[in-house]
Amino acid sequence: MESIFGYMEKYDYENLFLCQDKAIGLKAIIAIHDTTLGPATGGCRMWPYFSEMEAIEDALRLARGMTYKYAAAGVNLGGGKTVIIGDPYRKDREPIFRTLGKFINRLGGKYLTGEDVGTTLRDMEYIRMETPYVVTLPTYLGGAGDIAPMTAFGTIQAMRACAKAIFGSEKLEGRTVSVQGLGAVGYHVVKQLKEHKAEVTVADINKERVERVVKEFGVKAVAPEEIYDLPVEIYSPCALGATINDDTLKRLKCKIICGCANNQLKEERHGNLVHELGILYAPDYITNAGGTIFDTDRLESGQVNFERGREKVARIYQTMERIIEISKRDHIPTYLAADHLAEERLRYMREVKKYGGDLPPVL
């Protein structure tokens, strides 16, 4: 990214806030992409970025992804994201997150935050001490608690829709699946795949995580770099992004790519290459929307309702079917089909607001 304003203009961002507190070593970025559907909402990530520009680009890219995630899922929220430049294993967390909470509070509800990579529910409690604008909270504070199982559930729904399109049946029983990344969500993806009686192989750079899932679920494990070479039907990337790139596409032997990781395509052109190879790609912001769909459901009624929230997450199946339908109809890659679906809803709602809640007249 050569120009911050150039990037913001290209993708039509609304705001970018830089937050710092020298005394405690806080450096944070809050990116707000689009608030057409509602207040910008997106998690707070803590990561040791190599540079400030890398952190800014990540915040901007993730915020835009949240806009599309909510739009495609039919949720009335906009896209935003916070990233903190720092060690996710830092011990003295209270001052960092309470100070961040003060910054978020100054935005007056324009942005709502939540848990993400490198942050915890305890961190969200600290933020909540300074601002009400926090979505992800433990159950004893009125939140949904751990949303990882629902994120995984949404990924499985997308995978079932893909299986139906490729194999003629949504059943995952007997399907060979490789899961890359066994963090909070990846663990539950494996758990739910085994409940569906799939044949699962896993990989993770953390040996303790691998040992845990092998012991609990009886799955096979391979070295991290070997995961791309497995002759499986479904590849499920559940770690960090950019695992679909020039190198891996030469090695993948799967028919479906469906995982919960963010930003799986290193570049948009890799979505085109996946399509040309005849592999069905489930766009990441569709597959991993389950957690935030469930988490934000309480914003409408003021309280958590498990059955209602789960039903909304289950609709990811129909969303994925719709994306496959658009892809086939318009002869475009699925990542573009998902974008078109999201952009269509954003355009529609801009018209609704333009006319004060009424649809424009049909001429």
What share of the chain in percent tops pLDDT 90? 88
Residue-level pLDDT at 260: 96
Dist CA 32 CA 169 (whole Å): 40
355: pLDDT strictly greater than 90: no
Joined tokens for residue 16? 């970018």
Mean per-residue pLDDT over the chain, rounded: 94
Residue 332: C-alpha distances to residues 103, 245, 265, 280 (Å): 42, 19, 16, 12
Residue among 67, 65, 61, 58 at smallest CA distance from 28 = 58
Per-position DSSP letters for 312-352, written without gaps between them: HHHTHHHHHHHHHHHHHHHT--HHHHHHHHHHHHHHHHHHH
Burial of 170 (0-12, 13-18, 19+ CB in 10 A): middle
**The CA-based dihedral angle spanning residues 39, 40, 41, 45, taken in that order and rounded to the nearest 10 degrees:** -150
Residue-level pLDDT at 360: 47
User: Which residue blocks in the chain are alpha helix, DSSP H?
Assistant: 4-11, 52-73, 94-106, 121-128, 148-167, 184-195, 207-217, 246-249, 268-276, 284-287, 290-296, 298-301, 306-314, 316-330, 334-354
Residue-level pLDDT at 356: 65
181: pLDDT strictly greater than 70: yes
357: pLDDT strictly greater than 60: no
Residue among 117, 10, 105, 19 at smallest CA distance from 61 = 10
149: pLDDT strictly greater than 60: yes
User: Which domains does the chain show, CATH number per domain?
Assistant: 4-68+78-141 (3.40.50.10860), 148-289+317-341 (3.40.50.720)
Helix (H, G, I), strand (E, B), or coil: what is residue 160? helix
Catalytic (active site) residue 312: no
Q: Tell me if 319 sits within 8 A of 286, measured CB to CB.
A: yes
Q: Among 33-37, 302-306, 337-341, where is mean pLDDT lowest?
A: 302-306
358: pLDDT strictly greater than 80: no
pLDDT digits (tens, 9 = 90+) for 58-76: 999 999 999 999 999 999 9
pLDDT digits (tens, 9 = 90+) for 76-112: 999 999 999 999 999 999 999 999 999 999 999 999 9
363: pLDDT strictly greater than 60: no
Residue 2's pLDDT band, with cuts at 50, 70 and 90, is confident
pTM recorded for the entire structure: 0.89
Q: Which of 81, 110, 194, 255 is catalytic?
A: 81
